[in-house]
Structure 1
Amino acid sequence: MKSIAALALSLLATSISASPVIPTATIAFANDQSGAQGSATIPEDGSVQNIWSLYGSTKIAAGGAVVASSAQLTSFQANTNCVIKNANWVVVGTLTAEHTYLDLDGTSNSLVPLNLGGWTVSCTV
């Protein structure tokens, strides 16, 4: 009886350890005017993540909105690819190991904080 229990336990341990590990990336959004920033971990499985859901409890959330002017990929794989889209599903920019910083308003001479309500991010490896 003990050997059956030991076998069952080892099979359970094997099945748990065989679960696929989904890699993740970490993106920090910042409001460069106020100095507030918030970080969140995003699964690199291609799933679309709502920015409000990820950052709504961070310091860039104020008055019911998530407000930021830039994004930076801070933890990632060599082949990470994260796409940020606005509320109209238009690609705002892509973060990769070679391109880790993104000015969200698209103008290089200013950092205008934007309301990221309805924005999304998805990452793949």
Structure 2
Amino acid sequence: MLFYFIKMKSAIATSLLFVATAIAVPLEARTAATVGFALSNDQSGAYSGVTFPADGADRTIPSLFGSASVGSSGHVLASSAQLTQFPGTISCTLKNNGAVLATFTSQKTYAALGGNPAKAIVVNLDHGVINCRA
């Protein structure tokens, strides 16, 4: 009888562990971190911001900004980029034509895309990709 009781206790504990694991995974997925990212064209005055999950997926700049003010000319043109909302563990990489333009973290939230913060150099981001991971 004692053996049966110990075996049942073990089975209940194992069942509870499985239930806790099953519940924890969906909660984690539902609370995925988001990032706010903005582009500015300091020559035209255009500014646009978007929000998306910081899930490590590549997102094309035209899909995010093509219909926004920085993309209204048929091309996405921007002179600077900025994180506007982010968790403390954020890491984002902005590439254009495969080359890294900027890396963003919670400590480095702004980048002059033309490489010179003193000048508003507009860059065509039609082949740009952003990837953010929290």
TM-score of the aligned structures, taking structure 2 as reference length: 0.76
> In structure 1, what residue type is equivalent to 2:74?
G
1:119 aligns with 128
Contact 1:42-1:123 at 8 Å conserved across structures: no
1:60 aligns with 70
TM-score of the aligned structures, taking structure 1 as reference length: 0.81
What is the CA distance between 1:109 and its match in structure 2? 2.5
1:85 aligns with 95
Paired residue for 2:26, among 9, 18, 21?
18
Q: Which runs of 4+ in 1 moved over 4 A?
A: none
Identity %: 36
Point out the structure with the larger helix share. 2
5+ residue gaps, structure 2:
1-21
- Residues 34-113 of structure 1: pairs in structure 2 closer than 5 A: 34-87=44-97, 89-113=98-122
Question: Which digits, 9 at most, give the CA deviation of each residue in 1:63-103, with x for residues without a partner?
Answer: 2101100001000000111100011x111111111011000
Aligned-pair Cα RMSD in Å: 1.7
1:5 aligns with none
5+ residue gaps, structure 1:
1-13
Q: Which has the larger radius of gyration?
A: 2
> In structure 2, what residue type is equivalent to 1:98?
Q
